[in-house]
A and B are shown apart, each in its own frame.
Chain A
Amino acid sequence: MVPLSYYLVLSGILFACGVTGFLIKRNIITIFMSIELMLNGVNLSFVAFAAQWGKLSGQIFVFFVMVVAAAEAAVGLAIIIAVYRTRETLNVDQVNLLKL
């Protein structure tokens, strides 16, 4: 018997790690990975809540989230490639032509 809140806290931790990653990582790809981490955290919540409510729809959501994540990954990585082509760097701190 695992209290549900454990799952939820775990998901929260993952989400928080993702946020932290976004804040501290410099490499665009790693930042993107942090986002994936956040999504994974959310997915865990969905599944946990699905278990709590006894509704399978929660699991369906996870499926959709994955699809979206996949699509995002494809697009996101393409964008990253495009950025790399024009800037020849993946450091976000240097991707700052647009400011003020």
Chain B
Amino acid sequence: MLHLTIFLIFGAVCVAGAVNLLVQRHPINSALSLIVVMASLAVEYLLLGAEFVAAVQVIIYAGAIMVLFVFVIMLLNAGEEERTKGSRVAMIFGIPGMLVGSGLVAWVLLERSGTHAVEAGALPGPPKTIAWLLFHEFLLPFEVTSVLVLIAIMGAVVLAGHSDSGGPAKKEG
């Protein structure tokens, strides 16, 4: 019961954070709501017994990635969002599409995915086991991510770095 309560509380926080992300107009507020979502998700992971994931969620996601976001928001001094009307398609087709799609998926998840229930900490995921998996069965993906990271670094350097001539970028085309 406690389990369910915790789930519900943090689930609600999580959803509230997500919705807040949507309604907030200043990006920094959205970023903060996102951090709330991530943190509450970390609790849900713990409920599911994924300790390692929960930790990583907090450290990498909420920590590193979101810091990056906040940093960029600050850097670009992004102000409040203007409510421009750029896209009717998104409203006329996108939102209904999203509603229909997620409704259908929700229906499937509720009705068709069986009546499994999970105990708190049902599948403990201690770092050691995870590490074993990571360096054996998932060795290749793990190694490959290094390429991914390399690309990310290069990309960041190329795109965000100063242009070759050193001066501010000119507008073209």
Contact = CB atoms under 8 A, between A and B. Distances in A.
Query: Do any CB atoms of chain A lie under 8 A from CB atoms of chain B in the complex?
Result: yes
Interface of A: 1-10, 12-21, 23-27, 29-30, 32-34, 36-37, 40, 43-44, 47-48, 50-52, 54-57, 59-60, 62-64, 66-75, 77-82, 84-86, 90-94, 96-97
B160 A60 contact: no
B155 A75 contact: yes
B7 A73 contact: no
Assign chain B's interface to a size class. 35 or more
B118 A2 contact: yes
Given A34-B21, A82-B159, A85-B169, A51 B76 contact: no
Contact of A92 (B14, B76, B86): B86
A85 B171 CA distance: 9
Interface of B: 3-4, 7, 11, 14-15, 18-19, 21-22, 27, 30-31, 34, 37-38, 41, 44-45, 47-50, 52-53, 56-57, 60-61, 64-65, 68-69, 72-73, 75-76, 78, 81-87, 90-91, 94-95, 98, 101-102, 105-106, 109-110, 113-119, 122-123, 125, 129-130, 133-134, 137-138, 141-142, 145, 148-149, 151-153, 155-160, 168-169, 171-173
A40 B61 contact: yes
A4 B115 CA distance: 7
Contacts of A3: 115-117
Interface of A is mostly: helix
Given A9-B106, A17-B22, A75-B159, A66 B57 contact: yes
Contact of A91 (B50, B81, B123, B173): B81
Contacts of B85: 93
B14 A33 contact: no
A11 to B, nearest CB: 8
